[in-house]
Amino acid sequence: MTVKLVSHANLTTACAADVRAAIRNGSYDGHTAGLAAGKLQCNLAILPDRFALDFLRFCQRNPKPCPIVGVSNTGDPSLPTLGRDIDIRTDVSKYRVFRNGELSEEVTDICDVWSDDLVTVALGCSFTFENALLRNGIPVRHIETSKNVPMFRTNIDLVPAGKFGGQMVVTMRPIPADQVAQASEICSRFPQAHGAPIAVGDPAQIGISDLSQPDWGDAVDIRAGEVPVYWACGVTPQNVLLAAGLPICITHSPGHMLVSDVAEDAETTILTTN
Amino acid sequence: MTVKLVSHANLTTACAADVRAAIRNGSYDGHTAGLAAGKLQCNLAILPDRFALDFLRFCQRNPKPCPIVGVSNTGDPSLPTLGRDIDIRTDVSKYRVFRNGELSEEVTDICDVWSDDLVTVALGCSFTFENALLRNGIPVRHIETSKNVPMFRTNIDLVPAGKFGGQMVVTMRPIPADQVAQASEICSRFPQAHGAPIAVGDPAQIGISDLSQPDWGDAVDIRAGEVPVYWACGVTPQNVLLAAGLPICITHSPGHMLVSDVAEDAETTILTTN
């Protein structure tokens, strides 16, 4: 079968189910920023069920970097509370497979890696609050300049659970000083998407030495009248999973999120109660 | 040792830690409504760890009746993210112990019942949003009339997980028709405490046949100009646990909640990040 590839631009008006279908049938393998407008997108952590209870405890104790929005049954690739037809083995455009704490492979489906003891945990992502900031006239520099958001390791200790622990990773967005309070208020309405900022201003207060040298993503300019604002980041659980050295775990590749059918502004992330 | 008993009135100005201390040392065994003003109180579910992953999945899928606010390590009676000195074996004023789905005993501590495989799950409770309604001038009838809130079985199916499933239990509060929208908006700010109402008006729409015959608690008057408003209820997970017929599980007795150190209006229910 020859699959006709589609571009990001071709998908910008597609619904979430159609985006997933294009990914599933192999016609799209790009990033998902800006696709399925208004729908929740998710960070992914797939791990053996014997570690799942501790990982859920870890996420519950660190809700700002790790907001749980969906948990599968063991061995079940569906996620019916996030989307009626989701098959997590095929519906994400790029995955990273880690073995014993090392990146093993980057793939466009995980059918060959899937096994009956795996549990999928879906976590909220920053797209939700970025969209809300933009809707309210608050600029988001890395989007304006077509860069990746700058991400930084911090000295903020996470609350541990079992093998899982470490320090928080944050994203930084420069915000005009007179809009910081409004930005914080807007984001606090999205606890399923990292919530309000965790710090504002001096990067040294959270152990960041140089804002021009992000640990991941791209540096962005901080202009006159702007202050750096820091949000808990979904790279945190990925780092924590890596450090735990599990025999296997699988995440999405950065920017290649799971696109759900849940409305970004829904009161809960559960389809059947909305 | 002779323990001097204290009354509910004696404790109304005590802080949360002092309320827990009075309960722990045996000087208070009453209900906790109105105690430790401004602090989150919790429904309790204590169960063997082999059922905990499914129970957490169940709660995640049903966040309105079952908002998770704390999860202990296996066999560990502390809950450091909810209070720095909590010992869950002694810090609740009355517990119900269920064996194989039947009420076995009601006790004031569970030291003799505790075992190394137990996990505590703390769930948010309605006191939080009732306090917010009162602060905003919205009357709460059962509080005004010193009754228990009326609770009803409904026909609303829960999203199942493992052995856990069934139908939602709701509470009903009559609200003046012109304050229903405001009440809903206020409660939506408390996702850790059942959130916005799940229905308004006709009880038949959710399978309730007679509002004067609650399944638990006391009937309350619905006055001219008021409409019945329904919220997801913390009795839901208790019923679900009972129906699952676990060899053992432990809950608080109705009204005898765990009093935490977490502020009711905090962004998260995790002490260390607030």
Asked if B56 lies within 8 A of A61 by C-beta distance, the reply is: no
Please tell me the distance in Å from A239's CA to the nearest CA on chain B: 19
The answer to whether residue A1 sits within a structural domain is no
Quickly state the pLDDT bin for A1 (edges 50, 70, 90): low
CATH number of the domain residue B85 falls in: 3.40.1640.10
Q: For chain B, list residues with pLDDT below 70.
A: 1-2, 273-274
Q: Are residues B260 and B228 in the same domain?
A: no
Number of compact structural domains in chain A: 2
Q: Are residues B81 and B28 in the same domain?
A: yes
Q: Are residues A111 and A22 in the same domain?
A: yes
Asked if A71 lies within 8 A of B49 by C-beta distance, the reply is: no
Please tell me the distance in Å from A226's CA to the nearest CA on chain B: 25
Contacts of A63 in chain B (CB under 8 A): 268-270, 273
Q: Are residues A131 and A61 in the same domain?
A: no
**In whole angstroms, what is the distance from residue B272 CA to residue B268 CA?**
10
Q: Nearest residue of B to residue A122 by CA position? A: B60
Q: Are residues B214 and B262 in the same domain?
A: no
pLDDT at B251: 97
pTM above 0.90, yes or no: yes
The answer to whether residue A251 sits within a structural domain is yes
| Mean pLDDT, rounded, for A247-270 | 95
User: First CA to last CA across chain B, in angstroms?
Assistant: 39
Asked if B62 lies within 8 A of A270 by C-beta distance, the reply is: yes
Q: How many CB pairs under 8 A join A and B?
A: 77
Nearest CA to A113 out of A48, A51, A164, A50 is that of A48
| Mean pLDDT, rounded, for A59-67 | 98
**What are B108's two structure tokens?**
């004031």
Asked if A191 lies within 8 A of B52 by C-beta distance, the reply is: no
The answer on pLDDT for A273 being more than 70 is: no
Answer whether A246's CB lies under 8 Å from A200's CB. Answer: no
Q: ipTM of the predicted structure?
A: 0.95
The answer on pLDDT for A227 being more than 70 is: yes
Q: Nearest residue of A to residue B267 by CA position? A: A188
What DSSP assignment string belongs to chain B?
A: -PPPP--HHHHTTS-HHHHHHHHHTTS--S--TTSSTTEEEEEEEEEEGGGHHHHHHHHHHSTTT--EEEEPPTT----TTT-TT--TTTSSS-EEEEETTEEEEEES--TTT--TTEEEEEEE-THHHHHHHHHTT---HHHHTT-PPPEEEEEEEPPPBTTB--EEEEEEEEEEGGGHHHHHHHHHT-GGGT-S-SEES-GGGGT---TTS-SBS------TTEEEEEEE-THHHHHHHHHHT-S-EEEEPTT-PEEEEEETT-SSS-GGG-
**In whole angstroms, what is the distance from residue A170 CA to residue A230 CA?**
6
| Mean pLDDT, rounded, for A46-71 | 98
The answer to whether residue B248 sits within a structural domain is yes
CATH number of the domain residue B175 falls in: 3.30.2040.10
Q: Are residues B115 and B192 in the same domain?
A: no
Contacts of B49 in chain A (CB under 8 A): 53
**In whole angstroms, what is the distance from residue B44 CA to residue B89 CA?**
12
Contacts of A191 in chain B (CB under 8 A): 191, 267-268
Asked if B272 lies within 8 A of A49 by C-beta distance, the reply is: no
The answer to whether residue A135 sits within a structural domain is yes
Asked if A63 lies within 8 A of B198 by C-beta distance, the reply is: no
Q: Nearest residue of B to residue A162 by CA position? A: B73
pLDDT at A165: 98
Q: Are residues A121 and A139 in the same domain?
A: no
| Mean pLDDT, rounded, for A103-128 | 96
Contacts of B188 in chain A (CB under 8 A): 267
The answer to whether residue B165 sits within a structural domain is yes
Q: Nearest residue of A to residue B197 by CA position? A: A267
Whole-Å CA distances, B207 to B102, B157, B223, B228: 26, 11, 22, 14
The answer to whether residue B86 sits within a structural domain is yes
List residues in chain A touching B: CB distance below 8 A: 49, 52-53, 56-57, 60-64, 68, 70-71, 73-74, 80-81, 119, 159, 161-162, 188, 191, 195-196, 198, 267-270, 272-273
Q: Are residues A111 and A243 in the same domain?
A: yes
Of A61, A68, A195, the CB nearest to B267: A195
Of B60, B63, B270, the CB nearest to A159: B270
| Mean pLDDT, rounded, for A265-273 | 86
Quickly state the pLDDT bin for A5 (edges 50, 70, 90): confident
Q: Are residues A145 and A113 in the same domain?
A: no
Contacts of B191 in chain A (CB under 8 A): 191, 267-268
Task: Map tokens 């920017």 to a residue.
Answer: A255
Please tell me the distance in Å from A100's CA to the nearest CA on chain B: 23
Contacts of A53 in chain B (CB under 8 A): 49, 52-53, 56, 74, 119
The answer on pLDDT for A54 being more than 80 is: yes
Task: Map tokens 């920023």 to a residue.
Answer: A33
Asked if A267 lies within 8 A of B188 by C-beta distance, the reply is: yes
The answer to whether residue B160 sits within a structural domain is yes
- Write the pLDDT tens digit of every residue in B150-190: 999 999 999 999 999 999 999 999 999 999 999 999 999 99
Cβ contacts of residue B147 below 8 Å, gap of 6+? B141, B217, B218, B220
Q: Nearest residue of A to residue B63 by CA position? A: A268
pLDDT at A274: 41
Of B56, B159, B198, the CB nearest to A270: B159
Q: Are residues B62 and B93 in the same domain?
A: yes
The answer on pLDDT for A180 being more than 60 is: yes
pLDDT at B155: 98
The answer to whether residue B2 sits within a structural domain is no
Interface with B, mutate which of A268, A269, A271, A272 (most B CBs under 10 A):
A268
Domain extent for B102: 8-126+237-273
Q: Are residues A97 and A168 in the same domain?
A: no
Q: Are residues B120 and B49 in the same domain?
A: yes
